[in-house]
Amino acid sequence: MYIPSINPYAFKIGPIAVHWYGIFMAISIAAGAYYLYVKSKELNYDEDFLLNLLMIVVISGIVGARLMFVLANDIDWFYKDPIQILKIYEGGLSWHGAVLGGFLAGLYYCRKKNVRINPLEDYAVIGLAIGNMLVRIGNIFNQEVLGRQTDFAFGRWPAQLVGVAMGLILLIRYFYIERKHMPYGYQFWSFIFYYQLMRGLIEETVRDNPLFLPVYLNKHLGIGFFTLTQIATPFILILAYWMMRRVINDPENKKLSF
Annotated binding site: 136
Distances (CA, A) of 32 to 28, 36, 78, 125, 140: 6, 6, 31, 8, 22
Report the C-alpha gap between 106 and 55 in whole angstroms: 10
Report the C-alpha gap between 187 and 174 in whole angstroms: 7
Residue of 234, 167, 228 whose CA lies nearest to 195: 167
DSSP state of 143: T
Report the C-alpha gap between 65 and 98 in whole angstroms: 4
Report the C-alpha gap between 77 and 67 in whole angstroms: 11
Residue of 239, 235, 238, 217 whose CA lies nearest to 226: 217
Contacts (Cβ under 8 Å, ≥6 apart) of 154: none
Report the C-alpha gap between 211 and 157 in whole angstroms: 17
